[in-house]
Amino acid sequence: MPAPLNHEQFMRLFLQSERELLRYVMALVPNVSDARDVVQETALALWREIGKYDPAKPFIPWACRFALNEARVFLRKEFRQRRVLREDVATLLEQKRLAAATELDGRHVHLQECLAGLPEDQRGLLRGYYFDDESVDALANRLSRSREAVYKSLQRIRHSLQQCIERKLLAEA
């Protein structure tokens, strides 16, 4: 087994996957604040067990197993108050996620390829909106465009990416 990750390597991997972990947890725990708490608990659990991580394998599936466990702990506590999903529903969602993982991984690879093919200004707009959490108003001001123009550009880019991914999937089949 390779040497365990150091703090910096762990932080890099975790920060790169944090958004995906949050999306995953939000499928189980619909309240954003609660989901963020679960992701924080997941980070602590991952850090405690980082010596067991094999860097030759993808980090996100490994981290999702921890997130599922942390979500289950949360769900057990919250179910007593009847606020969120039952644990068996969480298990079913995890099974569905695993079944779709291969397809989603392929789509993710194609998305990266399609993103790389976009002009820089379009990638910059997507980066600002989706990764830097800039509001449409902030983007419109920064780009000297109207809100409507920014919304329309985002819509066109998303449509273009969807078509690109679908073309690549068809070419694979």
Q: Are residues 172 and 142 in the same domain?
A: yes
Lowest mean pLDDT segment, chosen from 12-26, 41-55, 95-109: 95-109
- Say if 108 falls within a structural domain: no
Number of domains in the chain: 2
- Say if 110 falls within a structural domain: no
Single-letter code of the amino acid located at 132: D
Q: What is the pLDDT of residues 49-98, one digit of tens each?
A: 988 888 888 888 899 999 999 999 888 877 665 555 566 666 777 777 77
- Say if 112 falls within a structural domain: no
Q: Are residues 44 and 89 in the same domain?
A: yes
- Residue 7: both structure tokens together: 């703090």
Average pLDDT over residues 122-140: 89
pLDDT given for residue 124 in this prediction: 92
pTM (two decimals): 0.49
- Residue 124: both structure tokens together: 């910059």
Instruction: Please give the residue range of the domain that contains residue 16.
Output: 1-101
Distances (CA, A) of 165 to 68, 81, 97, 142, 156: 29, 42, 20, 29, 14
